[in-house]
Structure 1
Amino acid sequence: MDIGWLESFLALVEHGSFTRAAEAQHVSQPAFSRRIRALEIWFGEPLVDRSTYPVSLTPAGVKVRAGAIETVAAISAVRDEIRGRQRTPRGAVRVAVTHTLATTFFAQWWASCSDQGPVPCVLLPSNTLDAYDALLHGGCDLLLAYADPALPLSIPVADVEWMVLAEDVLAPYTSVTGRQPDFSLPGTAAHPVPMVTHSQGAFLGRVTERILAERDLHLLPIAQSDFTSGLAALIGAGMGVGWLPGRLVTPQLADGTLQQVGDSSLTASIEIRLYRVPSDKVPARAAGIWHRAAGLAADGS
């Protein structure tokens, strides 16, 4: 077994494509494919269904992913400690955070939960499903993620506890020129509105699809990414309309570089939730953060 095989496998899970995963690891696609095949030979079963796009995991692949996340993290920590480069704070709370919340919500919220003195933490940015998987399999202590009350994730929520910390709104935005929006909705069949969007597999992409399924809009997709801040930059550059969380675009709304378009029927209310496994399995410091967060949520802070 080569630990690099597991790292390549996790890259494939993250990117959903052999080509994109190989590029992310800075190796050729044939070399990357050989790593995945070597791992499958080692386990004795196919781990990836190559007939789908994005690629999907076989039942064996799902099991391997859970173990790979924990194994790679543990081996990396031991390596860093041996090399004298261990920088992880002692007793740190490991918090998996979806990428958008890592840049828009986490810092101020964590400081509020640590008002009696800094609480050491390790911030683990991730997508929603991988972060939830890490929570269930011990890869983190807490999970901070968006949730759509109208579109529950197909995950075993009975295995965790959660609370709502705050709310946000997913809405369509456009760039602005001379105080006028560059694009407007709904568009027409002859002149569809350019659209930048998340993939349908991403959480915010699924929420956007739910909104669009109920509306008669004329849109022309021209750019796609699951990196929400990157989409916001594309929208700001005048590429088209895109659905973004309000907390992310607050600065651009304030300085007039972005503007919401359409009416309230094109928006969706989403929640910012904190998750944990049953309380008897949560480390003491993480439990303290949980109780402090519950108090802040109850106070409306």
Structure 2
Amino acid sequence: MDVVWLESLVALGEHGSFTRAAESLHISQPAFSRRIRALEQWAGTDLVDRSSLPITLTPSGRVLRARAADVVAGLSALHDEMRGRQTMPAHPVRLAVSHSLATHYFAGWWRAITADAPQLTCLLLAANTLEAYDTLVHGGCDLLLAYVDPLHPLELGDSDVESVLVARDRLAPYARPGTYRLPDPQRRSDGGGPEVPYVSHGAGSFLGRVTDRILAGRRPRLRPVAQSDLTSVLAALVAAGLGVGWLPGLLTTEQVAAGRMTPVGDGQWTAGLEIRLSRNRRQRASSHAVEVWERAAANQDRTG
């Protein structure tokens, strides 16, 4: 559960339109729609009647909206109270980080880049990759650490986003040792052969899109058994032997070393990824955010 999902439902109830509600929260309509879908997934039921114009909330949506308004108001008051008791250093760098990097990469990277700079602190904002980019474009963070597909960069409209290369990674299929394998990608599927259980990234997610591009034109017989927007959840499902899943290599290092998962298939089932630190040049940055940026730029990966 993310409080911004509740804020979005409250805004939708007030404005009766995805477009106007998104504008009121200063986010794009696709990002707003993703929030509502995520909340519906959490609730386990439809909250919006999309068959009517203007759209209306379902009975469940109206009940949740009423409760959500109280929760949002209460959290806002609590936030104001905590800011009054502020104990965090004055200028933490607001860093939006994709979930997969937040859980398995960020700590080591931050420790290395700030090793001799104890004055640098951060406010970590974990989000899925697409929402994290949306946060950067709309000024909700100072910097963004996220995966990038170098062959298919995201279209960010007229935003003035620049980035530096932090590291390289690879998205590849993994499975529990001795369980499943993928066929030769040079052999086109004719509908024969055994089905391979498949744990997938959420529809429309960044890594889900990269996986779809890998599979395009040479799709094996995959039998979906589970789906999640959280890469760490997919890694756990793969390690448990539920199926094959496409995962970033940096996330799997410990699991592979421990013998809980192994790469399956050859390099043609994989795609290169980049980890990049990005900033919006239109946004006025704090001196601490500038320092983190300059340190990352000075240490960026320049290997081919």
Matched with 1:266 is 269
| Residues 1:30 and 2:59 are matched in the alignment | yes
Q: Which of 240, 243, 247 is the aligned partner of 2:243?
A: 240
> Is structure 2 residue 221 aligned with structure 1 residue 218?
yes
Partner of 2:179: 182
**Larger mean Cα displacement after TM superposition, 10-19 or 228-237:** 10-19
Deviates more, 1:233-242 or 1:181-190: 181-190
Give the direction of change, closer, same or farther, for the CA distance of 1:72–1:199 in structure 2 (3 Å limit): farther
What is the CA–CA distance in structure 2 between the aligned matches of 1:193 and 1:173, rounded to whole Å? 12
Q: Does the residue aligned with 1:281 lie in a helix, a strand or coil? A: coil
Unaligned runs of 5+ in 2: 12-31, 46-57, 184-188
Q: CA deviation at 1:74?
A: 7.4
Q: Which residue is equivalent to 1:54?
A: none
2:14 corresponding residue in structure 1: none
Letter in 2 for 1:77: H
Q: Does the CA-based 8 Å contact 2:9-2:36 persist in structure 1?
A: no
Aligned to 1:209: 212
CA distance in 1, matches of 2:76, 2:210: 34
| Alignment check: 8 A CA contact 2:159 2:280 kept | no
- For the residue of structure 1 that corresponds to 2:140, the secondary structure is coil
Aligned pairs for 1:59-208 within 5 A: 77-82=79-84, 84=85, 86-118=86-118, 119-156=120-157, 158-176=159-177, 181-186=178-183, 189-208=192-211
State how far apart, in whole Å, the 2-side matches of 1:157 and 1:251 are: 40
In structure 1, C-alpha distance between the alignment counterparts of 2:274 and 2:158, rounded to whole Å: 15
Counterpart of 2:22 in structure 1 is none
Q: What is the rounded CA distance, in whole Å, between the counterparts of 2:301 and 2:175 in structure 1? A: 35
Q: Structure 2 CA distance, aligned partners of 1:125 and 1:146?
A: 13
Residues in 2 aligned to 1:153 and 1:76: alpha-carbon distance in whole angstroms = 36
Q: Secondary structure of the residue that 1:134 maps to in structure 2?
A: helix
Aligned pairs, number? 258
Query: Per-residue displacement from partner, 1:185-226 (whole Å, max 9, x unpaired)?
Result: 129635210000002310000000000003241111111111
Once residues 128 and 257 of structure 2 are traced to their aligned partners in structure 1, the CA distance between those partners, rounded to angstroms, is 28
Return the alpha-carbon distance in structure 1 between the equivalents of residues 158 and 232 of structure 2.
28
| Displacement of 1:91 | 0.9
List structure 1 segments (4+ residues) > 4 angstroms apart after TM superposition: 9-12, 34-39, 71-76
Is the deviation greater in 146-155 or in 204-213? 146-155
Q: CA deviation digits over 1:233-263, x for unaligned, max 9?
A: 1111110101000000000111111110001
Aligned to 1:109, what secondary structure does the other structure show?
helix
- Secondary structure of 1:168's counterpart equals strand
Task: State the percentage of identical aligned residues.
Answer: 42
Cα deviation for residue 89 of structure 1 reads: 3.3
CA 1:144 to 1:9, structure 2 compared with 1: closer, same or farther past 3 Å? farther
TM-score (norm 2): 0.75
- Give the letter aligned to residue 110 of structure 1: W
User: Which stretch shows the higher mean deviation, 229-238 or 29-38?
Assistant: 29-38
Q: 2:266 & 2:5 partners in 1: Cα distance?
A: 49
Q: Give the TM-score, by structure 1 length.
A: 0.76
Contact 1:142–1:286 (CA<8 Å) still a contact in 2? yes
Task: Determine the C-alpha separation between the residues in 1 that align with 2:169 and 2:278.
Answer: 17
| Structure 1: unaligned runs, 5 residues or longer | 40-68
Query: Structure 1 CA distance, aligned partners of 2:218 and 2:96?
Result: 34
Shifted more, 236-245 versus 135-144: the winner is 135-144
2:98/2:129 contact within 8 Å kept: yes
> For the residues of structure 2 that align with 1:103 and 1:295, how far apart are their CA atoms?
25
Q: For each residue in 1:169-188, what CA deviation from the matched residue of structure 2 results, as whole angstroms up to 9, or x when unmatched?
A: 00000002xxxx21011296
Q: Which residue of 2 aligns with 1:65?
A: none
